[in-house]
Structure 1
Amino acid sequence: MARSHRSRRSKKTKSQTEEKSIKGKLLEHGDIFFFYRPKVRTEEVRDIENVQRFYMVTSPDNSDVHRIFLVGQKRLPEIVEGKSSSEERNWALNVLTSSNPHEIRKEFLPAEYQTETRGTRRIGAAVPAGEGKYSIVEHEGHSELAYILELPEEPGPTQREFQIKKEASYIVSVKNPDIQVPGYNAFLKRKPHYPNSLKEKFGNRRWINVEDPHLLDYENAQLLLIGARKKDVEEELGIDIDEEKETSRTAELFNDLKIKKEQVPLKPLFTGKFPRKNDIPFAQEIKRLSIEEAPGRGGKVGGKIAASSSASAASVAKVLSGIKFPKNKDQLIHYAEQNKYKVSKPDVVIEALKELHATHFENMSDVEKALGAIR
């Protein structure tokens, strides 16, 4: 049965809504959630360096579908109005679509796996970091995903670490699975199985707008997100997202996704702060991972989906040999692109540099430390 929602608080008059509807065509509306998963054996997350994965979940209205997207660089794209840079864009990969909310909940459980040298290893449960309402809109020749955050009421340190704003929008495009795109080589073996009716929409284009939201329903669907707006998204796009005032009792996270309050730390969701060790509940359910699902094996929970997993320190050093420091991230990437002939797999190296969280480097040691933080 499709989900239904409580009546929302409309903030606009009918005439205002009609006037705005001319600007943007609403394609989809629903609930959006953000989660992060700590790194292996991390008891307390203090910043993004302690985080293994960052996820975005979309649950459209009038549908049973829930989609989990793994977001690259462990954060949403930075939004710098009036400026274009590599930090404003990011990828997202559909790692699970299900009409069963218990499957979504299970995906975020803590997990254990066996290693040959270190015995049993544990990955902590995914922690909710935000809840809100989102819309996908056709606007001036492109599609945008816009959201307004409901929980926490105001973004805190946790949300700032993942670039989760009070409100924001991103130009969103879907990758053609049959055309190779530079920088996306890590996804060559991960292709969504679109039916012909959806495949035909791509034609010979590398990227298309989200003209049909069903494009997002298929596992391994690959998205490109480009930062667009961080304020007045409803006015700019001509839509009413109609967020609600949520509480621990009414939050859709618990009602729709069936996340159990007693099994996850709630501090990031309600106060915007990272939980301390004492705030983390004892794990009542633990998922067992196979060897293939374990970190470093390409699994959904901890596998290295990004190209950074296979970019060796030696290949990065070879591509950057001769560079003069200090350099910012964009300059590193530009230099690597100019010297990619030095290694056999340059796209893997360049993608790894794009994954770096640091933006300023005084020497090669800084680069190596930044690479280590994303492995």
Structure 2
Amino acid sequence: MARTHRIPRSRKSKQQTKVRTTKGKIIEHGDIFFFYRPKIDTEEVKDIESVQRFYMVMSPENSHLHRIFLIGQKQLPEIIEGKSNSEERNWALNVLTSSNAEEIRNEFLPAEYLTETRGSRRIGAAVPVGEGKYSIVEHEGHSELAYILELPEVPGPTQREFQIKKESSYIVSVKNPDIQVPGYSAFLKRKPRYPNSLKEKFGNRRWINIDDPHLLDYENSQLLLIGARKNDVEEELGIDIDEEKESSRTAELFNDLKIRKDQVPLKPLFKGKFPSKEEVPFAQEIKTLTDEEAPGRGGKVGGKIAASSSVSAASIAKVLSGIEFPKNKNQLIDYAKQHKDRISDPYSVIETLRELHDTRFENMADVEKALGEIR
């Protein structure tokens, strides 16, 4: 359940990150983590097509607070130097904020739930795929989220699947929850319960810069990320983030988030590669989801984000009108992108199509059947 109050910040005992600023104003800095969760009943992940969800966790310094953000399209925005287009944009949704590390750990545990048609289903544990240091910086009239990766020391194939670089920065804005924005209609029922002091910051603007990090503390707060830079981040922003050389003993992932080393595969975090089925530890803790928590019924864990439940069949049929079958999932998405002007909210449709299983569709009836399985 979303929290209605701001969680007080308290000091961490760990050594503070050293940040020197010469150009940008530091709004917040701390530890950043990335996780992926396999698709339902998937035993081995080989690429992003086998991934259900991609998460970013921000743990501010001088605080025991942790925020879990669900990242749209299951990857960070692509960064193309000197170019800006829709492919470089992505959304992030706060799905949990807590000062209790055990609550964060529990959110990432494997889970089981029952369905009327398929019986018991299993959602795999969230797998750590990156750890580093981040800063939110006020820079030349906008706010940027910058990070430097500490683990793995050299990003590998797994990180490339999620567009996780050794260092990157993104222009970041917070959405006004009371104003409808094209492409964000799926989130109308998911609103952060900001106090008046934060609501007043938005005025009549759709998006605002992050001048107060408490804007990120509330569940259902929504962010827009736009790829900015992937090289010389510290020099460009005028900051100095002292990343540390981490190991399995010193990693904040295990010390702060209380993730247990024997319960998650470590290969993506330290080697940058997806684990084989044999390298995935046996689940020692499995939580049982209620009907309300289960995927497709409003649940957060491994479930479909609001987009898949709010997009109408008519909208999908309209944007796919005239398509020639057979087609695979990627071809459906490409066609929807080419004809996005047919509907007012194409991005929710495209996001829903991304949730389909990667299979061959012989006709529109196959598409409708597949959509029914993810709702």
Q: TM-score range by the shorter chain?
A: 0.7 to 0.9
1:14 maps to which residue? none
SS in 2 for 1:200: helix
Distance 1:336 1:94 in 2: 27
2:115 maps to which residue? 115
The code of the aligned residue for 2:11 comes to A
1:231 maps to which residue? 231
1:71 maps to which residue? 71
SS in 2 for 1:290: coil
1:40 maps to which residue? 40
Matches within 5 A, 1:1-375: 2-6=11-15, 17=20, 21-311=21-311, 315-322=315-322, 332-333=336-337, 335-337=339-341, 339-340=342-343, 346-347=344-345, 349-353=346-350, 375=374
Shift of 1:81: 1.1
Q: 1:329 to 1:81 in 2, by over 3 A?
A: farther
Shift of 1:175: 0.5
Shift of 1:309: 4.5
Distance 1:364 1:38 in 2: 23
Q: 1:290 to 1:181 in 2, by over 3 A?
A: same
In the alignment, is the contact (CA less than 8 A) between 1:144 and 1:169 conserved in 2?
yes
Distance 1:175 1:211 in 2: 13
Distance 1:312 1:198 in 2: 33
How many residues are treated as equivalent by the alignment? 354
Task: Show CA shifts across 1:273-322 (max 9, x none).
Answer: 00111111111111111111111112110221142445467643432334
In the alignment, is the contact (CA less than 8 A) between 1:173 and 1:224 conserved in 2?
yes
In the alignment, is the contact (CA less than 8 A) between 1:27 and 1:211 conserved in 2?
yes
Q: 1:330 to 1:38 in 2, by over 3 A?
A: closer
In the alignment, is the contact (CA less than 8 A) between 1:158 and 1:273 conserved in 2?
yes
In the alignment, is the contact (CA less than 8 A) between 1:265 and 1:275 conserved in 2?
yes
Greater alpha carbon shift after TM alignment, 267-276 vs 79-88: 79-88
The code of the aligned residue for 2:160 comes to R
Distance 1:330 1:228 in 2: 25
* TM-score calculated relative to the size of structure 1: 0.87
Task: Show CA shifts across 1:100-140 (max 9, x none).
Answer: 00000000000011111222111000000000000000000
Q: 1:313 to 1:275 in 2, by over 3 A?
A: farther
Gaps of 5+ in 2: 1-9
Q: 1:321 to 1:117 in 2, by over 3 A?
A: closer
The code of the aligned residue for 1:54 comes to F
SS in 2 for 1:133: strand
Distance 1:84 1:365 in 2: 36
Shift of 1:335: 2.2
SS in 2 for 1:189: coil
Distance 2:226 2:194 in 1: 24
User: Could you tell me the percent identity over the aligned residues?
Assistant: 75
* TM-score calculated relative to the size of structure 2: 0.87
Task: Show CA shifts across 1:313-338 (max 9, x none).
Answer: 7643432334799999687435221x
In the alignment, is the contact (CA less than 8 A) between 2:18 and 2:240 conserved in 1?
no
Alignment RMSD: 2.8
In the alignment, is the contact (CA less than 8 A) between 1:75 and 1:163 conserved in 2?
yes
Shift of 1:87: 1.2
Q: 1:7 to 1:68 in 2, by over 3 A?
A: closer
SS in 1 for 2:339: helix
SS in 1 for 2:283: coil
In the alignment, is the contact (CA less than 8 A) between 1:4 and 1:61 conserved in 2?
no
1:13 maps to which residue? none
In the alignment, is the contact (CA less than 8 A) between 1:35 and 1:129 conserved in 2?
yes
